[in-house]
Amino acid sequence: MMERVRFPEGLELSRVIYGMWRLCDDPDTSARHVQAKIEACLEQGITTVDQADVYGGYASERLFGDALRRAPGLRESLQIITKCGIIAPVSRHRRARVKHYDTGKSHIEASVDHSLKLMGIDYIDLLLIHRPDPMMDARETGAALDGVVASGKVRAVGVSNFRPHDRSLLQASMRNPIVTNQIELSLLAHKGFTNGDVAHWQELGVPIMAWSPLGGGALVTGGAGAGLGSCLEAVSKRDGVDPAAVAVAWLLAHPARILPVMGSNAIGRIRAFSDAFRVTMDRETWYELYSAALGHEVP
């Protein structure tokens, strides 16, 4: 069985999350094919899916919703994450003059309602503010997030790409806890382990999520560099898995309880997500990979 992670507010997510960032990039965007991807996740205990209103030019939530409408029984097996706050001048925001962020009350409320409608669901399990907003009024944003939880439209709220000071500012104006942060973490984006980002959430005892855990695919397409690539390959051969599984296992081994957000449109690759749990990741193996990623041994 897939490990599950408990969050504040009674939220429980699968340790690996299926990310739908590139759902619209698949040549086959039919509800049948999206349903097949979801079912491939559920077969391995991956019950949590990650969306955002802006994904696919504001079209990804609708594609996901089409699959749920085709197979409505899937909803009760899933925990659905989505995000709001980015205004890109396309689709329903095509009249925007510039890409920008909006964390105001009216935008958050409208985004929640729109996401619920597109996905055809009654509530969102976890709503994230997608990016730190330099124009954020923390009192207004905090009250809006508390409000959507009180309404029953959202079970819990979190943030994405926030630094510790961004979280502290927003949390100070909220009744409900900020239950997670989704940040970029991988063998190629490892600064979070030393710049305080991961340590901050460990101190709070709150699990975090890692987007792009395969470095945008570079960790499996040869873009990681010869040293790291060779190290990944050696471990993958030892344990009989793909190098992608090794890269994900490296994150899973960290005591911060990191939840990798895995994205793929290939059913075969989706079915292999849980291979990461077959990797033996002891401390020395972890540091072998980390040193290869740094390009030198640790001081």
Q: Using CA atoms, how far apart are residues 222 and 9, in angstroms rounded to an integer?
A: 41
Strands (E), the chain: 4-6, 12-14, 17-19, 48-50, 79-84, 86-87, 100-101, 124-129, 154-160, 178-184, 209-211, 259-262
Q: Using CA atoms, how far apart are residues 69 and 118, in angstroms rounded to an integer?
A: 10
In 3D, which of 1, 83, 9 has the Cα closest to residue 49? 83
Q: Reply yes or no on whether 55 is catalytic.
A: yes
Do β-strands 209-211 and 100-101 pair in parallel, antiparallel, or remain unpaired? unpaired
Do β-strands 86-87 and 100-101 pair in parallel, antiparallel, or remain unpaired? antiparallel
Count of other CB atoms within 10 angstroms of residue 122: 9
Residues with Cβ within 8 Å of residue 226, at least 6 apart in sequence: none
Instruction: Tell me the three state secondary structure of residue 94.
Output: coil
Count of other CB atoms within 10 angstroms of residue 139: 13
Q: Using CA atoms, how far apart are residues 51 and 19, in angstroms rounded to an integer?
A: 7
Q: Using CA atoms, how far apart are residues 207 and 215, in angstroms rounded to an integer?
A: 20
Count of other CB atoms within 10 angstroms of residue 97: 6
Catalytic residue among 18, 55, 58, 101: 55
Count of other CB atoms within 10 angstroms of residue 280: 11
Q: Which residues are catalytic?
A: 55
